[in-house]
Structure 1
Amino acid sequence: MQLLDIGVNLGHESFQPDLDAVLQRAAEHGVGRMIVTGASREGSAHALALAKAHPGLLRATAGVHPHHAIDYDDATDALLRELARDPFVRAVGETGLDYNRNYSPREVQLQVFERQLQIAVDLQLPLFLHQRDAHQDFLALLRRYRDKVPAAVVHCFTDTAEALRDYLALDCHIGITGWICDERRGGHLRELVREIPADRLMIETDAPYLLPRTIRPQPKHRRNEPMYLRHICEEIARDRGETTDVTAANSTATAEAFFRLS
């Protein structure tokens, strides 16, 4: 079984002491490739550097998360365009809207999201998208650009059935994380995941965040790792009524096509 983690924050400080061990454990659990998420100006540059340091294992995205939209300026835009032209960068993002925390003003988030949508259009790259508590504004803006970019994935989907159907109607891919394992917040995803076509479903850990609550025993450090992608795959397979091998093969093939990986 070979798995592909489409969203892992390997640039997070928690991975600095033991990154090589983290990558080794991932490989031992069938996670052969990963996409390192770029979520800020500095983080995107770091994600690319990590990918280049592990060319057989990693690729990267380049973008600015809505939490950091307030820091986006012309220099940031120019840097993202430079990074995104590198062949190791396979998508623009993580970009989108987050009205749950509002770390950046909503009007600024909208402006910065649109600027990154334009980067994806200009460079003809897929979009790696974030949306939380902002569905209507997010959808309205995405609709204006969706047919101008080759592909788009709504990463770490946690929303409603209506939102899922809106994204699928726009021919978006859907990324499912260990949120599906959270009986407090993610139980509805166990039903919704059945509605995602096999060629639109991708899986991710979003490590070091979102450690699946169904892992036993729970690690004392509470840090999520790419090695747990197999556990997420098993949970999704059970919910979809298919074998883990089928879910793994389909999600990996879908991710390979989306990120243009051999």
Structure 2
Amino acid sequence: MPPPLIDIGANLTHDSFDRDRDAVLTRARDAGVTRMIVTGASREHSPKALELARQHPGLLYATAGVHPHHAAEYTEECDAELRALHAHAEVVAVGECGLDYFRDFSPRPAQRRAFERQLQIAADLAAAGTPKPLFLHQRDAHDDFVAIMQDFEGRIGPVVVHCFTAGRRELFDCLDRDWHIGITGWLCDERRGRHLRELVPNIPAHRLMVETDAPYLLPRTLDPMPKDRRNEPAFLPHIVAELARDRSETPEATAQATTATAAAFFGLD
């Protein structure tokens, strides 16, 4: 039996899962995905992520944050709501938060402010003796992202740059700072992800984690493809197999290493 897997990023509160969420979880377990981190990425969905985690103890865990796409909604009330969510043990990371200059769904000043406010939450948790890691998003904003992170250096817990899609310079900037890297099915996209196949061998095993980002980023090499084109955690073993091939490892070795890294990073039992 292959080693169990941890999907560190699944948007299971997405409405596309409303019709069959329990079946999705069953398929994940049957595929060997024994633990999943439910991404909280807005004021609406972070509480829902916690609710799901509480309904499925030991299987699901949650993050709580505001994605840069929703940065314009980051108010004092939102900050207080996030801090209240982080009082719960089922919430195992701060985020998803960060910067996204590719789509610019929120103004860049608002993105930077929301990012800084959430980094402050992480710093306050660390100062209080209850540190939580950071689950971060960065797209086409690397230099501003690094500059903001430097302002919090030494005051926050471990970091994962989730769904990494950038290039060599950005990867080594992250690794030089001891940040973790999350790899998704973007790796399987021959149009946009080919460069990642050359980069992933450079990621140390103790810095590498895997995720689906379901329902998004369905691996384009999956065969057969689901008719609804929805990604789900059960497809994580396919991503692991592709990643293992690019790293010249067995899928079992990649699974074992990424699971150990994720369990340590999120403080899972």
Bin of the TM-score, shorter chain as denominator length = over 0.9
2:76 corresponds to which of 74, 77, 92? 74
Match of 1:54 in 2: 56
One-letter code aligned to 1:57: L
Match of 1:174 in 2: 181
Deviation for aligned residue 1:239: 0.3
- What SS class does the counterpart of residue 174 from structure 1 fall into? strand
Q: Distance in 1 between matches of 2:233 and 2:192?
A: 22
Match of 1:237 in 2: 244
Deviation for aligned residue 1:146: 3.5
Q: Deviations over 1:159-189 (max 9, x none)?
A: 0100000011111000000000000000000
Indicate conservation of the 8 Å contact 1:146/1:152, yes or no.
no
Q: Distance in 2 between matches of 1:144 and 1:246?
A: 37
1:255 corresponds to which of 245, 258, 262? 262
One-letter code aligned to 1:73: T
Match of 1:209 in 2: 216
How many equivalent pairs are there?
Answer: 262
Match of 1:110 in 2: 112
Within a 5 Å distance, the mapping from 1:39-188 to structure 2 comes to 39-123=41-125, 124-188=131-195
Q: Distance in 1 between matches of 2:10 and 2:152?
A: 26
- What SS class does the counterpart of residue 165 from structure 2 fall into? coil
Match of 1:222 in 2: 229
One-letter code aligned to 1:17: R
Deviation for aligned residue 1:150: 1.8
One-letter code aligned to 1:206: D
Match of 1:17 in 2: 19
Q: Distance in 2 between matches of 1:146 and 1:48?
A: 28
Where in structure 2 are there 5+ consecutive unaligned residues? 126-130
Where in structure 1 are there 5+ consecutive unaligned residues? none
Match of 1:198 in 2: 205
Q: Distance in 2 between matches of 1:56 and 1:130?
A: 25
Indicate conservation of the 8 Å contact 1:154/1:172, yes or no.
yes
- What SS class does the counterpart of residue 77 from structure 1 fall into? helix
Q: Distance in 2 between matches of 1:121 and 1:66?
A: 19
- What SS class does the counterpart of residue 167 from structure 1 fall into? helix
TM-score normalized by the length of structure 1: 0.99
Q: Distance in 1 between matches of 2:153 and 2:170?
A: 16
Deviation for aligned residue 1:203: 0.1
Q: Distance in 1 between matches of 2:228 and 2:109?
A: 37
Match of 2:253 in 1: 246
The 4+ residue runs of structure 1 with deviation greater than 2 A are none
Aligned residues: percent identity? 63
One-letter code aligned to 2:55: A
One-letter code aligned to 2:251: T
RMSD: 0.6
Q: Deviations over 1:52-110 (max 9, x none)?
A: 00002000000000000001100000000010111000000000000011111001100
Q: Distance in 1 between matches of 2:173 and 2:150?
A: 10
